[in-house]
């Protein structure tokens, strides 16, 4: 079974940066699509970014230009570099993996393996 473990969350002031990491175990990473999602109490799970096995990427409009998703298949790791962080970025961030590519890879139902989440708090 595939297992995902996130790390790198924490507290940062507005305008600061964090890099989230997600280590994937149990299967080869090369052919998987990978995504980052976030949740805030009272709101639906929100797709932040995704990266396909061929390296193609997608971003939520509000993070475009500030966040960058990347993958290192040799290290079985997917990253989310977050720059120019805003208070509205505060959330629990989850990584996810899918064995297949679907039309909308920023949709949670496209994924069937999930990490435990890591808290990101952006405040003064």
Task: Look up residue 15 and give its DSSP letter.
Answer: T
CA distance 25 to 76: 7
Residue 115 has pLDDT above 90, yes or no: yes
pLDDT of amino acid 5: 97
pLDDT of amino acid 101: 82
Give 24-67 pLDDT, tens digit per residue.
998 888 889 999 999 998 999 999 999 998 899 999 999 999 99
92-109 in b/e form (b: 16+ CB < 10 A) is bbbbbbbeeeeeebbebe
Confidence of residue 1 (pLDDT cuts 50, 70, 90): confident
Structural contact between residues 6 and 118, judged by C-beta atoms closer than 8 angstroms: yes
Give 64-94 pLDDT, tens digit per residue.
999 999 999 999 999 999 999 999 999 999 9
Residue 100 has pLDDT above 90, yes or no: no
Structural contact between residues 117 and 7, judged by C-beta atoms closer than 8 angstroms: no
pLDDT of amino acid 30: 84
CA distance 56 to 24: 19
Give 3-27 pLDDT, tens digit per residue.
999 999 999 999 999 999 999 998 8
CA distance 48 to 93: 9
């Amino acid at each position: 079974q595939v297992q995902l473990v996130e790390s790198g969350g924490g507290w940062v002031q507005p305008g600061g940066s964090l890099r989230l990491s997600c280590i994937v175990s149990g299967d080869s990473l090369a052919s998987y699509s990978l995504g980052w999602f976030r949740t805030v109490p009272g709101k639906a799970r929100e797709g932040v970014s995704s990266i396909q096995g061929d390296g193609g990427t997608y971003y939520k409009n509000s993070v475009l230009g500030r966040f960058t998703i990347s993958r290192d298949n040799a290290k079985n790791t997917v990253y989310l570099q977050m720059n120019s962080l805003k208070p509205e970025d505060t959330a629990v961030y989850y990584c996810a993996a899918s064995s297949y590519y679907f039309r909308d890879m920023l949709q949670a139902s496209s994924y069937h393996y999930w990490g435990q989440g890591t808290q990101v708090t952006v405040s003064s």
